[in-house]
Structure 1
Amino acid sequence: MKQGYMAEIGQAPLYIKMDETDNVAVVANDGGVPEGAVFPSGLKLLQQVPQGHKVALTDLEPGQAIIRYGEVIGYAAQAIKQGSWVQESLVELPTAPGLDELPLATKVPKVLPALAGYTFEGYRNPDGSVGTKNLLGICTSVQCVVGVLNYAVKRINAEILPKYPHVDGVVALNHAYGCGVAINAPEAVVPIRTIQNLATHPNFGGEIMVLGLGCEKLSPEKIAPGGNRINIISLQDYQGFDSMVTKIMQAAEERLQRLDKRRRVTCPAADLIVGLQCGGSDALSGVTANPAVGYAADLLVRAGATVLFSEVTEVRDAVHLLTPRVVNEQVGRDLIREMKWYDHYLKLGEVDRSANTTPGNKKGGLANIVEKSMGSIAKSGKSAIMGVLSPGEKVRQKGLIYAATPASDFVCGTCQLASGIHLQVFTTGRGTPYGLAMAPVIKVGTRNALKEQWHDLIDINAGRIATGEVTLEEVGWEVFKFILEVAGGRKKTWADHWGLHNDLCVFNPAPIT
């Protein structure tokens, strides 16, 4: 990655070229670079180019491949002169990589040296798992009961929780599933296992509480482990609203008494399950924040931890770079299976993967889903991919795992929680206040300007990489150490500080009746 000479010449025009074969580069300067500016390489801008947007390094003929990251991200829709702004409208989308003849496990990365001695203070659960928060989770079996639960949780927080200072909070696991759905459709397995796994998240300390109505298709017994009625409250069994709320509060206090006895103990970093996600991405995501998080992901893998990366439509166009990294051919076939499933899912909706790229992504310099994907997979680092999960499936192995999910921040976050993440590292270039109540979300910004604008929302500023103030590796270590501090309760993310927690959004590809 060539970063120009910002460290030496202050505010001189700066572009970033990711690979020797690239014929475009992205402008790194805050506020962009004006027409007529001359880069240290001698390249003169023919027009103003905003930060994160691409400049042509050579003359491009109509139909010529546009190359970034050493990969074709599109084709020139018309002639583009050297020094011109390569806008989205000038880039034609290439065909997605075929899935039937991809190389499988042909370049399996060598195992990196183990990283010993790193720990965090976590809550050890009876089943041996570990929590990073001490929460009471109350799961709903159907959306009909949400109003009652929200009322009860408000009273629990005000009247009961203050008596139990060692409990971090009470979380209502509300969702829109449970009735009016094709409960026995083949794809209904996705939302059902997601809700089942959410209810048993390690941050809930083994305490289960399920609130149902009594006539829903997704019965509470399908959510509570073993269908144990002692963990279930069905509102249709009670006489009046007050008795419902009283029962919820009584059951909650019984569990809060037990949770309040939990204490943090020293746990190895190997106990951690960390999710990676990006949202509000820009063209600097694949230059600064995502590669730094990828470096931190490798450190976590070296420490024996589990790391999940996701977002199918933001992997699909780079899948040919991932299948050689799988640990064996079966894992490669599993990865291809998830790509094919999602291709079919999008086809049913009469869209393709190009529907992923948002107006904000494009404003931030990402021309299309191919360019976005190349930057997105940088979060996965360089470790071998050890396994593949279907949406909402619980992780049961160590190392780097591909967890197939939609790319929507809220749906991906919910799926990763169901898979068991203790916390999530979330990269953003455009900025988002997104957060999760069940697990901390560490926000890593791609640009210095974003950190300055949202100084009390962005936890780590990776924009310093683009300006040469720090190295990618230094930010990677910063992310890794911050993960351990947040997991151990020594530091809080800004999202948790402000209580910014988005609703759960369960992925349901099955019919709604």
Structure 2
Amino acid sequence: MQLITKTGGENIANAVIRLNPLDDVLIARQPLPKGLELAIEGLVALDAIPSGHKIATRAIDAGQPLRRYGQIIGFASQPIKAGEHVHVHNLAMGDFSRDYAFGVDARGIGHPTRDTFMGIVRPDGRVATRNYVGILTSVNCSATVAKAIADHFRRDINPQALEDFPNVDGVVALTHSFGCAVDPGGEALAMLRRTLGGYAIHPNFASVLMIGLGCETNQIADLLAAQGLEKGEFLRAFTIQGTGGTSKTIASGIAQVKSLLADANRVQREPVSARHLIIGLQCGGSDGYSGITANPALGNAVDRLVAAGGTAILSETPEIYGAEHLLTRRAVSREVGEKLIQRIHWWEAYCQRMNAELNNNPSAGNKAGGLTTILEKSLGAVAKAGSSDLVDVYEYAETVRAHGLVFMDTPGYDPISATGQVAGGANLIAFTTGRGSAYGCAPAPSIKLATNTRLWETQEEDMDVNCGGIADGSMTIEERGEYIYRMMLRIASGERSKSEQHGYGQNEFVPWQIGAIT
């Protein structure tokens, strides 16, 4: 990455960034006024260029491809002059072939490092980063009851409720809007059950209450059977109808949580290998800096985690579209690479069936931040995955069993995507943002990484890490990657992230619903 540090007519430090010698665009480090001379590039800005946006380095004919990161990000929809602003008005999607080259860049994993964090080891050997009591619902009809039970134990409402249980992080109710009026044998209900089942056994829950209405399609007994689970002391299940109504169910739920707290409080943290850390990778509210700063810095941290034997889950399938060939090249086998391509083809068919386009992503905020096409967004998004081999591909909310870099098929919408990752076993979320997303993910803590210093300065109360210095040269990707990795170990050891301090996490539980509601 080359910083253009001096301009012709004006002295503006770090005015633009060139990411690759093959690129047809530069990235504005700051707003560039019309008429500004970029002497090193031999360019004059023909338009005002907002910060994070692109300026053409050469004349490009209509229909010709444009490159950023050395990769195609779209095609000129009209002739573009050198120095012009490149964005939605003159850059569009187009079809082009990609060489999947399965496994040609796979390099294997060396001898693992011996990094540790202070984790909570459950009796069955699972390792937790947090210690909650969870309340799950089989159907939306029991959401109000579940929330009322959890609210009784909120420290901001009833400080005495958990006063004697300092090792319990809280009691959280994770509710949703589905569970009935769906095909009982269909994919949608199976996906919901897989999600709820994953949360029911998540190591960050010391115990779980599963609450239903009683007459819903998603019967609790069927859910547990489908997931190979059984009711017991630490997985309790009951219904409003079976208990005798709303107030009785709330009272019963509160009493049951109280009976579970003493045992939950007995945990102690102890040193455990970083191989027990499973991190879900997210980016939301991306901007033109995401693929330059926070995402590659997170990717560097991922490589360090994988070297320690840990696991990172890359997701958001629509947001790797157009960059999937960069992952298939790192697949440990052709089978793994083809599993990824099968998910891409599923999304192409899904969008066609739903009369939608994959390029309806980027969002309005992404575009305001400088991203033009999903191809451009995806190339920056995959940087979160570092350079490690891709060892496996999972469906939504499927239990992740492999160690290393894996991929989970999810939508690009962050709450749905992260919900699937946590259901799969993620015990920490690392979330990059350039526009300022506010997000948390109980029971897994979430670390927020700002892509630019302006965001850090304006929304520091929500951000855990500033990666903006990478763009101006005051820090390197490697330095910030090391910092992020060490923060991951600290947060996993119990240090509270900004989103936890604000109480985020319960409302962000959003299972993916793909089926018809009848």
TM range (shorter): over 0.9
Aligned 8 A contact 1:220 1:227 in 2:
no
CA distance in 1, matches of 2:132, 2:263: 11
The equivalent residue for 2:504 is 500
The equivalent residue for 2:375 is 370
The equivalent residue for 2:302 is 297
The equivalent residue for 2:437 is 432
Aligned 8 A contact 2:14 2:472 in 1:
no
Aligned 8 A contact 1:393 1:418 in 2:
yes
Unmatched tracts of structure 1, length 5 or more = none
Q: Which letter maps to 1:238?
A: T
Per-residue deviation, residues 453-472 of structure 1 (Å, max 9, x unmatched)? 11211111111000000111
Q: Secondary structure at the match of 1:338?
A: helix
Unmatched tracts of structure 2, length 5 or more = none
The equivalent residue for 2:344 is 339
Aligned 8 A contact 1:201 1:420 in 2:
yes
Aligned 8 A contact 1:188 1:509 in 2:
no
Query: Which of 114, 123, 128 is equivalent to 1:131?
Result: 128
CA distance in 2, matches of 1:160, 1:137: 16
The equivalent residue for 1:69 is 69
Bigger shift: residues 125-134 or 292-301: 125-134
The equivalent residue for 1:220 is 220
CA distance in 1, matches of 2:222, 2:97: 40
Q: Which letter maps to 2:38?
A: F
Q: Which letter maps to 1:189?
A: A
Aligned 8 A contact 2:391 2:405 in 1:
yes
Query: Which of 106, 109, 133 is equivalent to 1:108?
Result: 106
When residues 435 and 307 of structure 1 are mapped into structure 2, their CA distance, relative to the original with a 3 A threshold, is same
Structure-1-length-normalised TM-score: 0.95
CA distance in 1, matches of 2:142, 2:132: 20
1:393: Cα distance to partner?
A: 0.4
Per-residue deviation, residues 106-143 of structure 1 (Å, max 9, x unmatched)? 22134355322x21111101221111111001111111
Per-residue deviation, residues 259-293 of structure 1 (Å, max 9, x unmatched)? 01111111111110011010000111001110000
The equivalent residue for 1:262 is 267
Aligned 8 A contact 1:13 1:38 in 2:
no
CA distance in 1, matches of 2:161, 2:402: 38
CA distance in 2, matches of 1:40, 1:460: 34
Per-residue deviation, residues 315-357 of structure 1 (Å, max 9, x unmatched)? 1211112111100111112112211222222221111211121
1:437: Cα distance to partner?
A: 2.1
The equivalent residue for 1:174 is 175
Q: Which letter maps to 1:226?
A: L
CA distance in 2, matches of 1:465, 1:348: 42
CA distance in 1, matches of 2:205, 2:39: 55
Determine if the alignment matches structure 1 residue 37 to structure 2 residue 36: yes
Query: Which of 465, 473, 477 is equivalent to 2:478?
Result: 473
Q: Which letter maps to 1:302?
A: A
Q: Which letter maps to 1:139?
A: L
Structure-2-length-normalised TM-score: 0.94
Pick the structure with more helix per residue. 1
The equivalent residue for 1:444 is 449
Q: Secondary structure at the match of 2:120?
A: strand
Per-residue deviation, residues 188-246 of structure 1 (Å, max 9, x unmatched)? 322221111111111013x2321111111111224445342761121112234332222
The equivalent residue for 2:399 is 394
Bigger shift: residues 495-504 or 196-205: 495-504
The equivalent residue for 1:22 is 23
Q: Which letter maps to 1:130?
A: V
Aligned 8 A contact 1:109 1:382 in 2:
no
1:392: Cα distance to partner?
A: 0.8
Q: Which letter maps to 1:183?
A: P
Aligned 8 A contact 2:189 2:218 in 1:
no
Q: Secondary structure at the match of 1:208?
A: strand
Q: Which letter maps to 1:228?
A: K
Aligned 8 A contact 1:233 1:248 in 2:
no
1:510: Cα distance to partner?
A: 2.1
Ranges of 4+ aligned residues in structure 1 off by more than 6 Å: none
Q: Secondary structure at the match of 1:257?
A: helix
